[in-house]
Amino acid sequence: MRGREAVGPALRAASRAARTGGRAYARVVVDGRWYVVAAWLVAAVAVLLLPPAPGTSGRLLGGLLPATSDALRVQERSLEAFDVPLLSGTAVVVHDPAGLDLLTRADVALWALATSQAELEGRVPDGPGHLVGAVPLPTGSADTAVTYLYASPGTSLTRTTELARQYAAHFHNQAPVRTYVTGVTPAQVAQGDHLESRLCAFEAASVVVIAGVVALAFRSWVAPVAVLAVAGVGFVVSARLLSALAQALGFSLPDQIEPLVVALFLGVVTDYCVLLFSTFHQELATAEDPREAARRAVARDAPVVAVAGLTVAGGTIALLAGDLGFFRSFGPALSLTVVVGLLLSLTLAPAVMTILGRRLFSLRRQQEALGTTSRAPDRPRSRVHLLTTRRGAAVATAAGVALLLLAALPVLHLRLDQSFTAGLPEDDGARRGAQVLQDSGVRGASAPTELLVEGQGVASERDALARFQELIGRQPEVVGVVGPADSPTAQEHGIVLSEGGDAARLLVVLGSDPLGAEAIADLRALQGRLDGLAREAGLAGASVAVTGQTAVASELTALTRADLERTLLVALGVELVLLALYLRALVAPLALLACSALSVVAALGLTTWVFQDLGGAEGLVFYAPFATAVLLVALGSDYNVFAVGAIWSEAARRPLGEAIAVAVPRSTRAITTAGVILAATFAMVAIIPLATFRQIAFTMTVGLVLDTFLVRPVLTPAVLTLLGRAAGWPGHRIRTAPGEPRPPSGEEAARG
């Protein structure tokens, strides 16, 4: 009991201190508004002088894996045992729908030989940036020939792709022969090009959407201009500051994260501005001096905005819990973006708001407080009142949970996909080349798999290796294999037989997209049979290992699933701690996070259904579910702070049912506007014509819509009603009936 007696006064003292600090902070920001604006403008000019950090779009798929990767270790052993690499990320496809004639086939072989001889004879420039070899691959297809290209060490992906196009140009005058440059490297370059070409359009569309929604919400053209001005200054600071911090702290900024950073920053800043402007508008109805109304609005909203921003930053920084460096780079980037947006919303937004005063709103909006007018209809309050009865709350909870569970069902068969070519637009050259290979039945030729056979003297066991190659070729997943059986002489070494004699390798072509979910499953099935096939071939003393892009994708898929589970648990833990501290309760945060988590799973389920089941995609791009799940958890907690914080504030003065009936209608309009803006901003990501970003856009939009129109206005009050007093456990803040006595505080108990 003495513990409770000590806690009560301490909490009240902390609450009084927070209110006092909030008022003092509001006075400083409002009274020093011109200094705040000047400081941000100076900061914007200063950061423009900082050099931006380069992205990491030039990294191959293998660069995403840790150094302990089995596939990468096998690749290293292969390069140590052999003179030349067997695998290439770039392929030139020569295709004639009527069938390649003998002259064209001969030209394919001779042009590859000439390219390789130029390197051997030293007829190429020194250093990186040139081709060092070209190797034709037997495909068994009458209409398609494939040649693998190898660039000098240190050659960039862009330069490698350019060299491949120059190589392919040799066949352009041989109509009706068509050539395509495809493979992992050209597809990565194409993805970067498509992203860069549409990034400005995405940003412009986001600005238009934000301006339109804010203008409709406040019925004013000044409010959206103010919001965009605040966001514009902050965006300049955020982008350059993020680049500088990336260089200083040593984390990377993949190009793939840029649209997410832009959408998150614009959405968060706009949301907080909308909430702050809404409160300012309400205060203008009773305050004669706009500066006093601004002080009240800042004092009332600044603590809530601060806690909300910290929940988003805390949720996104949980990405550091992952093992993959690619995902770990997301954490600091997204978290720092939110922190800058939070600082902007707590300083520049109030300053601009105070300077504009009543001019921020139209005449009509000056006369009506946003969402709390005297003419507000009773019907919305009646709908909320239904959720404050146990029967109504039970029905709403059951219906809402059932709907979310139904939407979540497809997630049970969600597959992850790493294909670069499948995500490209249909008219892209790299994708067209991959489609030609698909139609010819050798889709896996764009990124074949390497089998490394290791054992003492294994290179001399030519008959056993030939039998092993034959057995591999009979497997249902395999459409082609090149190996020791194809060596013209018994003494040929350095390509498929090592000079040391202790290693041999085979090039295996799978029938499906080598980075797709189907190929990953096929390779895993093949790996499970390799040891048995080796024994059957007479290679009982040898070991067989796998490398190549499909093997890398297989490991990446497994690690992504593990990282997703770990990161979500950490994110939920961080949000639980922050919400528990903010609400001074444990049960309510647990229930709220459960609702948010169910909403996230439902969004992923709907994405799986739309893109995988209806759209025919082999799977979702591996980092799309990862990034969206963490973002939705963090943003869901953000809205929890605004929605439940208002209920908790009212619950200090009235029973829980009345608190819900009063607080929900009061906060619904501003929260709904903020949710719509954030959902619309992320929807604009779909402008980028890549499957990755369309999946991200869909998941984020659906998740935010579910949160805005189902979880927050329906499930949240319904669940709190069902929990009753237990929602505030272990605290004693919640009452469920008028006149219900509260537990005595320490001071009251002492007087009694």
What pLDDT is recorded for position 256?
75
Distance CA 664, CA 648 (A): 11
pLDDT tens column, 1-20 = 444 444 444 444 444 545 56
Beta bridge partners of 149: 90, 134
Where in the sequence of the chain do the CATH 1.20.1640.10 domains occur?
A: 1-63+219-376, 378-413+584-752
Q: Which tokens go with 411?
A: 């997630």
> Which residues are 428's β-sheet partners?
none
Structure-block tokens of residue 575: 């949000």
Report whether the peptide linkage leading into residue 425 is cis, meaning its omega lies within 30 degrees of zero: no
Share of the chain above pLDDT 90, in %: 45
Mean of all residue pLDDT scores within the chain: 85
Find all residues with CB under 8 Å of 522, minimum gap 6, and list them: 477, 510, 511, 512
What is the rounded distance in angstroms from the CA atom of residue 319 to the CA atom of residue 361?
40
pTM: predicted TM-score of the whole model, two decimal places: 0.87
Structure tokens at 210: 């934000």
**Burial category of 485 from C-beta neighbours within 10 Å (exposed 0-12, middle 13-18, buried 19 and up):** middle
The partner residues of 506 in beta bridges, in order of sequence, read: 451
Question: What integer pLDDT is reported at residue 751 of this predicted model?
Answer: 37
**What is the C-alpha to C-alpha distance for residues 361 and 359, in angstroms, rounded to an integer?**
5
**pLDDT single digits (tens) 123-160:** 767 667 889 889 888 877 889 999 999 998 888 899 99
Decide: helix, strand or coil at residue 441.
coil
Cβ of 239: how many Cβ atoms within 10 Å?
A: 20
* Residues 504 and 534 sit within 8 Å (Cβ to Cβ): no
Alpha-carbon torsion 619, 623, 624, 628, what sign? positive
How far lies 741's CA from each of 448, 735, 744, in Å? 74, 8, 8
Q: Which residues are CB-contacts of 614 (< 8 A; sequence separation ≥ 6)?
A: none
**145: closest CA among 186, 112, 190?**
112
pLDDT tens column, 247-286: 776 666 777 788 888 999 998 999 999 989 988 988 888 8
User: From CA 105, how far away is CA 370, in angstroms rounded?
Assistant: 74
Polymer length of the chain = 752
The Cα 682–Cα 667 span in angstroms is 23
Q: How large is the average pLDDT for residues 88-111?
A: 91
Of the listed ranges 9-18, 19-28, 578-587, 706-715, the one predicted with least confidence: 9-18
Separate counts of helices (H) and strands (E) for the chain? 24, 10
Are 450 and 496 spatial neighbours (Cβ–Cβ below 8 Å)? no
Helix (H, G, I), strand (E, B) or coil at 519: helix
Question: Which range, of 328-332, 474-478, 550-554, averages the lowest pLDDT?
Answer: 328-332
Whether the bond between 448 and the residue before it is cis, its omega within 30 degrees of 0, is no
3-state secondary structure of 151: strand
**Cβ(514)–Cβ(446) under 8 Å?**
yes
Task: Tell me how far apart the alpha carbons of residues 672 and 292 are, in angstroms, rounded to a whole number.
Answer: 27
Distance CA 178, CA 180 (A): 7
Place of tokens 């020939």: 145
Q: Are 97 and 176 in contact (CB under 8 A)?
A: yes
Phi, psi angles (nearest 5°) of residue 221: -90, -15
pLDDT of residue 380: 43
CATH 3.30.420.480 fits 1-63+219-376, yes or no: no
Q: What is the band of 23 on the pLDDT scale with cuts at 50, 70, 90? A: confident
CATH architecture assigned to 429-554: 2-Layer Sandwich (3.30)
Phi first, then psi: what are they for 282, rounded to 5°? -65, -40
Domain(s) labelled CATH 3.30.70.1320 in the chain stretch across: 429-554
What is the Cα–Cα distance from 388 to 385, expressed in whole angstroms? 5
| Sign of the dihedral through C-alpha 112, 117, 119, 124 | negative
DSSP state of 49: T
Q: What tokens does 692 get?
A: 């990755």
Compute the distance between CA of residue 132 and CA of residue 664 in angstroms, rounded to an integer.
68
The CATH code for residues 90-182 is 3.30.70
Contacts of 266 (CB under 8 A, 6+ apart): 206, 207, 210, 231, 235, 681
Place of tokens 């992504």: 560
Residue 492 — pLDDT band, cuts 50, 70, 90? low
d(CA 344, CA 234): 6
Which range (267-271, 286-290, 551-555, 736-740) has the least confidence? 736-740
Range in 36-45, 382-391, 502-511, 568-577 the model is least confident about = 382-391
3-state secondary structure of 482: strand
Sort strands 449-454 and 90-95 into parallel, antiparallel or unpaired. Answer: unpaired
The sign of the dihedral angle between the CA atoms of 494, 497, 500, 503 is positive
β-bridge mates for residue 24, sequence order = none
Q: Is the peptide bond before 730 cis (omega within 30 degrees of 0)?
A: yes
Q: How far apart are CA 180 and CA 187, in angstroms?
A: 12
pLDDT at 749: 36
Task: Say yes or no: domain 378-413+584-752 is CATH 2.60.40.2550.
Answer: no
